[in-house]
Amino acid sequence: MRILLSIDDTDNLESRGTGELASLIAEDLELFGWGRSRHVTRHQLLLHPDIPYTSHNSAMCFEAEIDEEALEPLIRHAGAFLQRESAPGSDPGLCVAVVDRVAGVEMLHFGERAKETVLTKEEAYALAARLGVHLSEHGGTGQGVVGALAGAGLRLGGNDGRMKGSLDIAGVMSVADLLGVPGVDAIQGMEGETVAPEDLVRVADKPKTVMVGGRSVLMVAPAQPEDGVRWQTLHRRELRRF
Amino acid sequence: MDGRDAAEFSGGKEDWARAAAEAERCAAFVPDVEEELVVAEGRSCYDCRYRRWSATSFTCHGPANAVAPSVSAHPAVAKRP
Ligand code: SF4
């Protein structure tokens, strides 16, 4: 079964990031033979004085294909892990959604609202109960359940977030070769332009992919024509809207 | 949160040069985790662990003694009323 596991509010100014904890849970999932995980994504939520985030208010989410009997052990493991590893003063939340069982539109709508308005724990728990989604808190005020559910909703929508980590490539490469790089599902122009397999792309050091149409997409923009190079990858600064 | 009187950076979220200059002369700069970096080249307040994003800019929550020279006293930063 395909699941989404999303966490939020696990860090403080000195601790490891929420992304690292998400990656560690994803690694454990594979280590225990429960299934295979894919791409950890970062989802920006609302920045507002009434929301008690540490410094950025972002949720981290990954997708996994797991055995059905692994679902409960995974939820228990992730919950205990967050309880143990989250930073002092944080308010961690965990969401695990079975993709085929949830009403995606409602979850996505919650995620979109969490980017624009202040939502409460009560709203998050009520929606999770209605959709049959696991939602739990693991310390502090547990406020992270809002971001955890929102992160899963946004990931389910497939058009939000940047991938955690960067690609270990640089130089000039063809689109066809770039599509063979692990972590790249597609290549697309920032303005929606399509690229041809033989097109050459100038790849800046350690580019990052973003989530578009449920895929990990390497965004490019037209390059100054030189040596037949048609495209160039975008700097992180230009990917902020994802 | 250290409770000191946080001041919002008046350059907003896209004054790349000024955010870099501030961080260059700040003794407290600590790079944030990879997924929170928006510049990822050299130093920038935008990439600092101690910046707390707001809707339009950020406030610095670094150790007061270390950042005071570069942020609190710098004209790039406007004190909240
Ligand atoms: S501690 Fe404050 S002033 Fe110093 S680099 Fe970080 S955000 Fe900028």
> In Å, what is the CA distance from A106 to each residue of A61, A127, B37, B49?
17, 8, 31, 34
Residue A66 contacts residue A28 (beta carbons within 8 Å): no
**How high is the pLDDT of residue A227?**
83
Q: What is the pLDDT of residue B74?
A: 40
pLDDT value for B75: 38
What percentage of residues in chain A have a pLDDT greater than 90?
Answer: 93
CATH of the domain at A19: 3.30.70.2200
Report CA(A36)–ligand 1 centroid distance (Å).
Answer: 39
Separation of alpha carbons A14 and A21, rounded Å: 14
User: Over the stretch A165-174, which tens digit does the pLDDT of each residue have?
Assistant: 999 999 999 9
Average pLDDT, chain B: 80
Which residues on neighbouring strands pair with residue A98, listed in sequence order?
A: A3
d(CA A142, CA B35): 23
> Could you read off the pLDDT of B13-40 as tens digits, one per residue?
999 999 999 999 999 999 999 999 999 9
> pLDDT per residue over A176-211, tens digit each?
999 999 999 999 999 999 999 999 999 998 999 999
* Cα distance between residue A40 and residue A24, in whole Å: 10
How far out from the chain centre does Cα A119 lie?
20
Write down the pLDDT at residue A57: 94
> Is A103 found in the same domain as A55?
yes
pLDDT computed for residue A103 by the predictor: 82
> How many domains does chain A divide into?
2
Q: Inter-chain contact A55–B32, Cβ cutoff 8 Å?
A: yes
Helices A104-114 & A121-131, crossing angle to 10 degrees?
Answer: 170
Q: Could you say which of A107, A142, A162 is where a domain stops?
A: A162
Helix (H) or strand (E) segment spanning residue A2: strand A2-8
Looking at residue B7, what is its pLDDT?
Answer: 78
Residues in contact with A188: Cβ distance below 8 Å, sequence separation at least 6, in sequence order: A194, A195, A212, A217, A218, A219, A220
Residue A219 has a CB neighbour count (10 Å cut-off) of: 21
> How many Cβ atoms sit within 10 Å of the Cβ of residue A63?
22
Say if residue A20 is in the same domain as residue A130.
Answer: yes
> Does the distance separating the beta carbons of B38 and A240 come in below 8 Å?
yes
Asked if the model's pLDDT at residue B81 lies above 50, the reply is no
How far does the centroid of ligand 1 lie from the alpha carbon of residue A136, in Å?
A: 34
Residue type at A82? L
Residue with tokens 């003063």: A89
**Tokens found for residue A229:** 């190079």
> If interface means Cβ-Cβ distance under 8 Å, which residues of chain A face chain B?
13, 16-17, 19-20, 42, 47-49, 53-58, 60, 162, 164-166, 206, 236-237, 240
Q: Does residue B28 line the site of ligand 1, with CB under 6 A?
A: yes
Contact assignment for B54 to A19 by CB distance below 8 Å: no
Contact A237 B38 (CB under 8 A): yes
Chain A residues within an 8 Å CB radius of B35: 17, 19, 42, 58, 60, 162, 164-165
Give the pTM. 0.92
**Of A143, A162, A181, which residue constitutes the final position of a domain?**
A162
* Ligand 1 neighbourhood includes B7 CB (under 6 angstroms): no
A133 shares its domain with A193? no
Residues A17 and A86 in one domain: yes
pLDDT tens, residue by residue, A69-117: 999 999 999 999 999 999 999 999 999 999 999 988 999 999 999 999 9
pLDDT of residue A82: 97
From B67, B74, B77, the mutation candidate for ligand 1 (largest count of ligand atoms within 8 A of CB) is B67
pLDDT of residue A54: 84
Ligand 1 pocket residue status of B62, Cβ below 6 Å: yes
pLDDT of B67 reads 55
Coil/strand/helix, residue B13: coil
Name the residue of chain A whose CA is nearest to B62's CA. Answer: A13
Q: Are B61 and A55 inside 8 Å of each other by CB?
A: yes
Does A25 have pLDDT greater than 50? yes
Q: Would you tell me how many other CB atoms lie within 10 Å of the CB of residue A30? A: 13
Same domain, A157 and A202: no
Residue A131's DSSP bridge partners are: none
Pocket probe for ligand 1: among B50, B54, B57, B77, the residue whose CB has the most ligand atoms within 8 Å is B50
pLDDT in tens, A8-18: 999 998 899 99
Two tokens, residue A104 = 């995606």
| Residues A150 and A68 occupy one common structural domain | yes
Q: What is the dihedral of CA A57, A20, A233, A45, to 10 degrees?
A: -10
A39 shares its domain with A158: yes
What was the pLDDT predicted at A104?
A: 85
**A71 in the same domain as A182:** no
| The predicted structure's pLDDT at residue B63 | 85
pLDDT at A14: 87
Q: Which two tokens stand for residue A173?
A: 């490469």
Percent above pLDDT 70 for chain A: 100
Tell me, yes or no, whether A149 and A181 share the same domain: no
Is residue B76 predicted with pLDDT exceeding 50?
no
Query: Residues near B61 by Cβ (< 8 Å), separated by ≥ 6?
Result: A13, A55, B1, B2, B4, B6, B50, B51, B52
Lowest mean pLDDT among A3-7, A92-96, B59-63: B59-63
Boundaries of domain holding A34:
2-162
Boundary residue ending a domain (A108, A142, A162): A162
- Beta partners for residue A59, in sequence order: A43
Are A74 and A181 found together in one domain? no
Query: pLDDT at position B65, please?
Result: 54
Average pLDDT taken over every residue of chain A: 96
Interface confidence (ipTM) of the complex: 0.91
